[in-house]
Structure 1
């Protein structure tokens, strides 16, 4: 996973550069809702992504539907945890039901995924809001991505979890999933100045993740 550093919660939270912890506190205290939060990120994606090219696929309609459900759940007193109502991006080698998985290869005509990857099932259970698929280098390995580094548009964001790192660094999403075989999470995180969480190999199921990482 790639995310902003877990800083102490600030007053006047609700900006695109807030950490998951800050956003969680903001939702818990009622100063924002999952729906309002999502709309802020969707607006920023519209503004920024034509420059950064971090997103491969977006599903704002489904994301808003999920955010409405999360908003109602929290208002009724149901809190699923610190990811409840938090928008997420997903690297485009991880299956999400009814979304395409292209693995960074536009010529690869693959049918829509028929079920969620195991990690996506866990995120949904935790109440996270899935926004879309982020750009990966081809087959999570080869050619440089079209994604730009938010700090310097002439520089690479690193790979292969390029879009996930760039989307987080530019405030388009507070967190995004990546995968790693040889630095594919930690490298783009370091290039883009965001935090990287690379769990122990095998700790999270690979079901629904294309076998490049």
Structure 2
């Protein structure tokens, strides 16, 4: 649970986590009646959160300002969220402002990470944008809807692996290499090696309900690397 008893160690691990975060509300009909949490950060951690939040707001703002009219609306909303999550000049030992700032930081870190992943995938596509390389097994962007499972964000980029597993195989196992050799020798009745995820990133799920705020780390959610299997 995320509350006044949460240790600085736990909170520091969360703000330093590279995993994406999605937010889940137990009851969609009572979104504005959920538990309003409070945190009690140490002065050192509080200063760290302030700096991280300022840096992340700047980073996200620079990206969304390039999106034209949509970016303009998003910038206004981000500015309002930042105002609602701002620390008072004399922050009490514990308070809702710390809680709101922490949630905003985790949300914006997820947005920033999403942009970074998109740029990385675009760079990968550009480097393999040729008749030969375009079909090789590799990581591709795949955005899925979360509306049936969670409140926000509406979508998540979970990635997927696509492409052929012809020689030379991408990140193969010994089994895949022997299987490919067997098929190339004319044994076409066997299945060919498949391009599949071989490594994953976790996903943080932050659940907010009248009883409190809980955080769980769900493993193997986002495809990270691909290989022929």
TM-score normalized by the length of structure 1: 0.33
Question: For the pair shown, which has the larger CA radius of gyration, 1 or 2?
Answer: 2
TM-score normalized by the length of structure 2: 0.31
